[in-house]
Structure 1
Amino acid sequence: MTRRVALAVMALVAAVLALAVVPLGLSLAQRERASFRDGATAADRAIAAAAEEYLSDGRPPAAVRGLLERARRDGDCAAVFDGAARREAATSCPAPSPAAAGRAGEDWAALARRVIAEPRVVTRERDGRFVVAAPVGDGEDTAGVAVLSRPTAPVDERITAMWERLAVIGVAGLAAGALLAVALARWVGRPLHAVDAAARRLGEGRLAARAPGGRGPVEVRRLAATFNTMAARMEALIHGHRAVVADVAHQLRTPLTALRLRLDVLAAAADETTGGTSHPESTADAADAGDTAAELAAAQEEIARLSRLVDGMLAVARAENAVPVPVPVRVDRVVADRIAAWLPLAQERHVTLTAHCAAGLTARLAAGDLEQVLDNLLANAVDAVGEGARVRVGGRARRDRVELTVADDGPGMSEAARRTAFRRFGYPEGSGTGLGLAIVHRLITSNGGTARLAETPGGGLTVVLDLPAGES
């Protein structure tokens, strides 16, 4: 942003300088040349006036010679011609070269004849000199011609110096504009960068992040204040959500634990009563005791399910509140380790558990997240498939990503169920708590990856995880 604002302001300043300095320079150069020509013409007219007294009135040539000497001292060359275009007097000014000197002499004589034939002031510029010829006398009574040649180098040098000064002014103005643009861009951009950094920290899970206020334009300060208000409300909501989840889970876990202990004691007592009955007359009592034991076992199963549900809610809360710090994780090693951990249970249930993962495959995730993800997916898969089914874990690299799949040959899910399966309790037909896939989705997305469900060819469910690749 700073660069764009600076370039925009510099372009505007450059355009303003170009529109102001260039016309000014052209006007000054034109005025300087006009002043130069007017001065040369005035000097030649003064020589023509003095020559008129000499040629027409017969007065001594002292005045003419004085003006010619003055012109010589000023660096000009001048000459006076009579009515027949013969040179009467001239300054002694050296020519640049013999050829130029001869050409100047011929030009002056021809110029004198032209002015005598048509009395008027004639000017021309050649070989770096400005030449002006003025008639001596008025009207048809032309007694001669006064010719003056003045070098144009001094005026060219003055114009060049003027353009150089204007260029320096333009560069200085452009530099000042650039400094002003950079200062303005930083004044505007620094608080915006601070707001951006605070938003990035907030997105990373640092709920106490706030944007510094009191700097920059009013709009930026208002933006920072609005962001801080939003961040404060978000922090309060998230902390309140965390507190509610933690309190509910804690309040549920305590009575559930106590109830489970009481049911265990009752179940043990019922077992003792049933085991100690041996007389025929106590058959009815034994049947009642057996029914009681069955009810207690069912209650214990419900308590166990509620305990798993509470543990799942706590796991979801921890996954949502965690701020991941990605590190390189060897996917192939984690897959091999989790397969080895789940293999005994799979063999017990006659489920084939295999893995095909590329060697050296590395992803960037928070430490321990991939293990938790695989545990939830393998648990769901092993519970969903029947005897003789297969569960396959695969991993491969795709450009700068890592694709990890967990496929099973179980009953699968309908398309509608797949769309809601990653939500909490989004798959009520499942046998689990309904939180495993929600935990998987949260852990994967918080690490910059994606998770989706697809149908396994031939029947079943495939979970596809797309993870950011890391250096191996």
Structure 2
Amino acid sequence: MKLSRRLRDSLAGKLPAAPVLVVTGILWFGGAVWNFQGEVTTLESAALPVVTFVLTGGFSIGVVFVGYRLSQSQFTPEQRWSIVGWTVGGLGITVLLHTATLAIRAAEGRPIGEPQFPLLVAGGVGALAGYGIGELLVDVRRSAAQAEQARDGMAFANSLLRHDVRNALQVILGQVDVLTAVDDERATEAANRIESQVEALYDLTANAEAVTGVLTGEATPEPRNVVEDIETSVATVTESFPDATVETALHDELVVRGTDALRPVFANILDNAIEHTGPEPTVRVTTETADGVARVRFADDGRGIPEAQRSQIFERGVTTDGGSNGLGLHIVSTLVERSDGSIYVEDSDLGGAAFVVELPIAE
């Protein structure tokens, strides 16, 4: 159905592809005119010849139109020739198949009549179907190539983040050592604050690396103690929100199948629970197991989420407060699913909403 790569590349560099379809459509329209003239001279009534002409001529004009459409498209010359190959191939295959059926009928001694009308219809249908298939395949390949470029760009940006930011943090830590050597209370306090922020930035680069690894498909679920991820996230959040109360009731150890991205997932859920509640929020984090599944529940004492919105809040672009672009929970849901888990919302025993993350327990 498609031209060989060498022929396609050669044509792409020398001839435009769209006129081929336009010429094909015009030639097929000429066949429709010829068939119409033959029917008009042999039939007493012109009604049926007109109907057949409208049908065959319509398909021919359709081929001319897709040729014009192809000339106005954003496809590369190579992609256009690929679509032309599918179009001409669809026309040729349908005509050959129909010719084969006529040949079989003739060999059986059955009357064939005038074969040009069904051949014209079959060819027109085959050409348009071939064009549709060719354009669809080109779009799919182009989308796949763009997705691969985006994935490579994300991986490259993550590499730069890890390398350049961590190098800068090492320089900052070197200056912190200088501050701590000074016998001054204010300098020591400033050094401690800087060191704390540097550690937070190290965690940020680690989280970015984990998220990128999952989104690019480089990281796969493996056994990990999810309690450590929860405790780390809780410690980070409570330090950032001193007025918040975070209660925990966790297993001593709970090994699930997941990725490093679970840590930023838990931190994001905690951040949302605290930021979207009151000035002194309470969040309760608990773990439980049942039927080979571990459940991590983040319950808050906020306003809750209406049941009608719960099935939509994880969709791209959907936000519950109108203050963001709705990407946070969508990314959270994606990361959980790629960790072989799931996430949903239910009522909280504290009066607000409870986000529940389910993960398979590791064997």
TM-score range, shorter chain: 0.3 to 0.5
Q: TM-score, normalised by structure 1?
A: 0.34
Larger radius of gyration: 1
Which structure's relative contact order is higher, taking Cα pairs within 8 Å and 6+ residues apart? 2
